[in-house]
Amino acid sequence: MSSRLFNYLRNDLSVINYQQLRHGHKIRGKPPGVAKTLKQRLEEMRRTDPELDFKVDIGFKPIKLSRRETTTSYMEYVKEVRKNPELERKSRRKELILDLEDIKKDWSTTIAPYQIKTIAEHYNIFSDLFGDAYFYPSLPIDIKYDNNNDFIPTAHRGNLIKVSETQQAPKINYEAAPDSLWTLLLTTPDANFTSRELEYCHWFIGNIPGNDIDKGDLLIDYMRPIPPMGIGLCRYIFILYKQDKQIDFSEYRKETPCLELEKRNWKTIDFYRKYQDIITPTSLAFFQTEWDQSLKDFYHHTLQMKSPKFEYDFPPPYVRPQEWFPIRQPFNLYMDRYRDPKDINKDFLMKKLQKTHPFKGPERPLKYLRAYAFEKNMPSWLKLELSKERLKQGRVNDIE
Nearest-CA neighbor of 186 among 167, 172, 176, 200? 200
Distances (CA, A) of 228 to 231, 309, 310: 6, 6, 7
Non-local (6+) Cβ contacts of 400 within 8 A are 352, 392
3-class DSSP state for residue 340?
coil
DSSP characters over 151-188: S--B--EEEE--GGG-SSPPEEEE---TT-EEEEEEEE
328 alpha-carbon distance from chain centroid: 43
What string of pLDDT tens digits covers the 400 residues of the chain?
556 665 655 655 555 555 666 666 677 788 888 889 999 999 888 887 777 678 899 999 888 878 888 889 889 988 888 888 888 888 888 888 888 888 888 888 888 999 999 999 999 999 999 999 999 999 999 999 987 777 889 999 999 999 999 999 999 999 999 999 999 999 999 989 988 899 999 999 999 999 999 999 999 999 999 999 999 999 999 999 999 999 999 999 999 989 999 999 999 999 999 999 999 999 999 999 999 999 999 999 999 999 999 988 888 888 899 999 998 888 888 888 899 888 988 888 888 888 888 888 888 888 888 888 888 899 988 898 888 888 888 766 655 5
> What's the pTM?
0.73
The dihedral built from the CA positions of residue 108, 109, 113 and 115, taken in this order, carries a sign that is negative
d(CA 288, CA 290): 7
d(CA 358, CA 118): 68
Beta pairing partners, 239: 185, 284
Helix (H) or strand (E) holding 104: helix 100-108
Helix (H) or strand (E) holding 116: helix 112-122
The answer to whether residues 142 and 172 touch, using CB atoms and an 8 Å cutoff, is yes
- Outline where 212-275 has alpha helix (H): 268-275
Structural domains in the chain, CATH included, are 114-302 (3.90.280.10), 331-399 (no CATH)
